[in-house]
């Protein structure tokens, strides 16, 4: 007898069914991952925005240095000027709109606080920056500015 080579029709059908099941499982796993793939990017962008705003605010004077009041962010000169700031889309420190981040919203609140320094306490202001991404997830970042 001659030696057979190749596959029978039954073996071929079984191989196709097994490959089809494996492909369907792989596709459903990939679809699940693809649906959430933007989440880390949105979270990172929110964190960068919050850090930029917080750094800008904490670099300002604790109290008003006596300059005329201003309602534009470009001329804010103390921490309290940023209280109730609400920007959508976000802006840079000079007031230029960041159109690439139009889906994000930045809100700032400033409250009086005090920090314990041994037996004494130091006057401080707590600054909280809230960034809402296009999906509606909120990131909060806070810091203290003391009167030194």
Q: Is 11 left (phi over 0), alpha (psi -120 to 50) or beta?
A: alpha
Tens digits of per-residue pLDDT, 104-147? 999 999 998 877 777 678 888 999 999 999 989 999 999 999 88
Domain ranges across the chain: 40-146
Give the pLDDT band of residue 69 (cuts 50, 70, 90): low
What pLDDT sits at residue 22?
A: 95
Tens digits of per-residue pLDDT, 11-63? 899 999 999 999 999 998 888 776 666 678 888 999 999 999 999 999 988 88
DSSP per-residue codes, 20-78: HHHHHHHHHHHHHHHHHTTHHHHHHHHHHHHHHHHHHHHTSBSS--SPPP--SGGG--B
Taking the C-alpha atoms of residue 33 and residue 49, their distance in angstroms, rounded to an integer, is 25
């Amino acid at each position: 007898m001659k030696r057979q080579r190749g596959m029978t029709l039954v073996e071929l059908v079984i191989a196709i069914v097994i490959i089809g099941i494996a492909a369907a499982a792989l596709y459903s796993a990939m679809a699940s991952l693809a649906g959430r793939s933007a989440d880390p990017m949105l979270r990172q962008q929110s964190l960068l925005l919050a850090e930029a705003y917080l750094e800008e605010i904490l670099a300002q004077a604790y109290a008003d240095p006596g300059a005329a009041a201003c309602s534009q962010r470009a001329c804010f000169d103390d921490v309290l000027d940023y209280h109730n700031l609400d920007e959508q889309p976000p802006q840079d420190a000079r007031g230029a709109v960041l159109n690439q981040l139009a889906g994000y919203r930045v809100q700032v609140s400033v409250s009086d606080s005090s920090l314990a320094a041994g037996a004494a306490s130091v006057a401080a202001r707590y600054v909280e920056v809230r960034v809402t991404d296009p999906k509606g997830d909120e990131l909060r970042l806070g810091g203290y500015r003391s009167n030194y």
